[in-house]
Amino acid sequence: MKGGGALELKVVIGDAIQIEVDALIVNLFEGITQPGGATGAVDRALGGAITELIAASEIKGRSGENTLIHTLGRIPAKRVIVAGLGKQSQLSVDRIRRITAEACRYARGKGSRRLATIVHGAGAGGIEPDIAAQAIAEGSILGLYTFRRHITKEPDNGRVDELLIVERDESRLSQLERGCSAGKVIAEAVNFARDMINEPANFMTPGDMAETAMKIAAEYGLQYTVLEREQMREMGMGALLGVAQGSGQAPKFIVLQYRGDDASQRVVGLVGKGITFDSGGISIKPSENMGEMKGDMAGGATVMAVLLALGQLKPKINVTALIPATENLPSGMALKPGDVVRAMNGKTIEIVSTDAEGRLILADALSYAVKLGLSPIVDVATLTGACHVALGDVATGGFTNNEELVKRVVGSAEEAGERLWQMPMYEEYREQNKSDVADIKNTGGRYGGAITAAQFLSEFVGDSPWVHLDIAGTSYASKEKGYVVKGATGATVRTLIGLVLSLASGGG
Ligand code: BES
Ligand code: MN
Ligand code: ZN
């Protein structure tokens, strides 16, 4: 299930200058002229090579800077990479993730397959060893991610097989191992989502999504069920069925459950948009970049990835994930502008654009979440181009009917180093969704499009506390940066894992 052989991570107690690897990653804060700690030890073993490069201004310690030093047999490691940590006052957990990712990719580019790193941030940086180790695990696994399933030739830039996290102080071992294994589970969950999202639509149909869900359920102790078209009909999911009717692929309504707290009645709901390809339907999209719409199931992949992680982290909480999955295609059978459909909660919807399909399938999924009594409910969707326009590819849009809940989600996003910006839900916007022929229409016009889409969704969540995350801008990266690589980002997977863990441990 994981892309091309997962990276091996290990914590080893020992001296960095004794370790035998292809590349040893050490670090330096900006402005330091005489490195201390493990970097200092390596410097001395190399006869002061690092100090000399600092004096010559070749190493400045800026964040993102990587300098290669060949050791020529002076220590067992073949190469040393000095990674800039930036200014000490600006050190953050997310910066450790980023510099680890960049240093690992740099090492990979130099043909190094076995790497070791000192624990960035846990020395002079003052960050707890478990937190630092987790950031290193996340940064390396996320930053080295590639999607090569459909490329038959070997990569030019090689591959990294192993990363050792080296620490001298044995008393830190269990903390480091705990952080490392949590980071591994979380980052591999993100990469699982990335794999699903990057997969071409002919390899990731609704049926393929359901099969993937079934496999992870079997492997990680989750409960899996799927509703077929017939059951969707019985349940009155007219909006989802409307979107699905133009496609030759059978729609699937995937349900994954994680049960970690038998004593509690509460079940948290995670809902993810699962459009495996969005052509726009009869309101067809321009052909340029239409291929990117293979990633329109990112929300569904995200919530599946969260449950995969929960199955391993085993927090004391219950979570149910709902993923309505279908293609959105034009055909003689397809939904048409002007049609009216009826969602599971009884509300009727006028179809203005068949390209506003995400909110239709979510209308039924959210209605079902309410019927199941899930609370709180968080949905994740590549919902609107308008959100991409508003926030760029930097921040996910957050929308809510519950300020307390959204604060929690924003807090989890901050911890994950994921940008999330709350957007307004002023009632004045509701006007734009009014229809002359049905209870509501499925587009509210050009202006405030991300908000009117969120307002539309709010019609289907009843009184349940709910947050909607629009990842249209953040789910896909056009260039690599830090631990984000080109293509699917897996945005909000880590935020939502953090949210569930915080709900499990902190009430709320
Ligand atoms: N899947 C798209 C939104 C999208 C656009 C995601 C770009 C990622 C990148 C969604 O189904 C859609 O087509 N939305 C329309 C809504 C409009 C018709 C009201 C849009 O944003 O143009
Ligand atoms: Mn669309
Ligand atoms: Zn879509």
**Could you tell me the CATH number of the domain that includes residue 346?**
3.40.630.10
CATH code, 63: 3.40.220.10
Evaluate whether residue 308 is within a structural domain: yes
pLDDT tens-place string over residues 247-295: 999 999 999 999 999 999 999 999 999 999 999 999 999 999 999 999 9
- What mean pLDDT, rounded, does the chain reach? 97
- Residue 212 inside a domain? The answer is no
Q: Is it the case that residue 4 has pLDDT exceeding 60?
A: no
Last residue of a domain, one of 139, 157, 190: 190
Q: Tell me, yes or no, whether 157 and 259 share the same domain.
A: no
Distance 394 CA to ligand 1 centre (A): 17
* Confidence category of residue 5, pLDDT binned at 50, 70, 90: low
**Domain end: 190, 221, 247, which one?**
190
Backbone phi and psi for residue 213, each to the nearest 5 degrees, phi listed first: -65, -40
Q: Is the residue at 280 inside a domain?
A: yes
The radius of gyration of the chain's CA atoms, rounded to the nearest angstrom, is: 24
Q: Measured in angstroms, how far is the CA atom of residue 399 from the centroid of ligand 2?
A: 19
pLDDT surpassing 90 at residue 46: yes
- Do 182 and 119 lie in one domain? The reply is yes
Residue owning the nearest CA to atom 8 of ligand 1: 472
* Residue 179 belongs to some domain of the structure: yes
Ligand nearest to the backbone CA of 276: 3
User: What is the rounded distance in angstroms from the CA atom of residue 166 to the CA atom of residue 117?
Assistant: 6
Tell me which residue has its CA closest to atom 5 in ligand 1: 385
Nearest to 449 by CA among 383, 495, 500: 383
Q: Is the peptide bond before 376 cis (omega within 30 degrees of 0)?
A: yes
Pocket test for ligand 1, best of 289, 355, 359, 452 (most atoms within 8 A of CB): 355
Higher pLDDT, 308 or 508: 308
Average pLDDT over residues 129-133: 98
Task: Identify which has the larger pLDDT, 154 or 472.
Answer: 472
Would you give the end-to-end CA distance of the chain in angstroms? 34
Q: Annotated active-site positions, please?
A: 285, 359
Give the position, in ligand 1's atom list, of the atom nearest the Cα of 443.
19
For residue 1, is it within any domain?
A: no
- Which numbered atom of ligand 1 lies nearest the CA of 280? 13
Give the distance (Å) from ligand 3 centre to CA of residue 277.
Answer: 8
Ligand nearest to the CA of 443: 1
Ligand 2 mean position, distance from CA 348 (Å): 19
Q: Ligand 3: distance of its center to the CA of 378 in Å?
A: 18
Q: Whose CA is nearest to atom 13 of ligand 1?
A: 355
Same domain, 142 and 239: no
In a shared domain, residues 185 and 322: no
**Domain co-membership, 410 together with 287:** yes
Rounded distance, CA 4 to CA 356, Å? 35
Which residue lies with its CA nearest to atom 22 of ligand 1?
385
Of 132, 120, 49, 58, the C-alpha closest to 88 is 120
Is the pLDDT assigned to residue 2 strictly greater than 60?
A: no
Quick check: pTM over 0.85? yes
Rounded Cα gap, residues 258 and 503, in angstroms: 14
Residues in the 5 Å CB sphere of ion ligand 3 = 275, 278, 296, 358
Same domain, 139 and 271: no
pLDDT at position 1 is 45
Same domain, yes or no, for 115 and 256? no
Residue nearest ligand 1's atom 9 by CA: 472
Residue whose CA is at the smallest distance from ligand 1 atom 14: 384
Please give the average per-residue pLDDT across 74-81, as a whole number: 98
C-alpha–C-alpha distance, residues 9 and 11, integer Å: 7
Give the span between the Cα atoms of 132 and 401, in whole angstroms.
Answer: 35
* Two structure tokens written together for 382: 């590549």
**Whole-angstrom distance, CA of residue 87 vs CA of residue 183:** 25
Distance 273 CA to ligand 2 centre (A): 11
Site of tokens 């022929």: 437
Who lines ligand 1 at CB under 6 A?
278, 296, 353, 355-358, 382, 384-386, 388, 443, 449, 472
- Reduced to 3 states (helix: H, G, I; strand: E, B; else coil), residue 387 is helix
Q: 166 is in which domain, residue-wise?
A: 8-190
Q: How far apart are CA 240 and CA 243, in angstroms?
A: 5
With a pLDDT cut of 70, the percent of the chain lying above it is: 99
Whether 184 maps to a domain, the answer reads yes
Q: Which ligand has an atom closest to residue 275 CA?
A: 3
Give me the number of domains the chain comprises: 2
Of the pLDDT bands very low, low, confident and very high (cuts 50, 70, 90), residue 508 is low
Which residues sit opposite 278 in a β-bridge?
328
User: Which one-letter amino acid corresponds to residue 506?
Assistant: G
Q: Which ligand sits closest to the CA of 281?
A: 2
User: What's the rounded mean pLDDT across residues 206-210?
Assistant: 99
Q: What's the mean pLDDT in 227-234?
A: 98
pLDDT, position 506? 81
Residue where one domain finishes, among candidates 162, 190, 218: 190
Does the structure show a pLDDT above 90 at 3? Answer: no
> Cα of 207 to ligand 1 centre, how many Å?
23
Q: Hey, CA dihedral for 334, 487, 181, 415, is it positive or negative?
A: negative
Q: Are residues 254 and 169 in the same domain?
A: no
Same domain (yes/no): 178, 315: no
Mutation test of ligand 1: which of 302, 352, 357, 384 has the most ligand atoms closer than 8 Å to its C-beta? 384
* Bond before 465 cis per omega within 30 degrees: no
Chain-centroid distance, C-alpha 483: 11
Same domain for 289 and 184, yes or no, is no
> What is the average pLDDT across 110-132?
96
Looking at the structure, tell me whether residues 120 and 249 fall in a common domain: no
pLDDT value of residue 157? 78
Determine, yes or no, domain membership for 2: no
Is 186 in the same domain as 235?
no
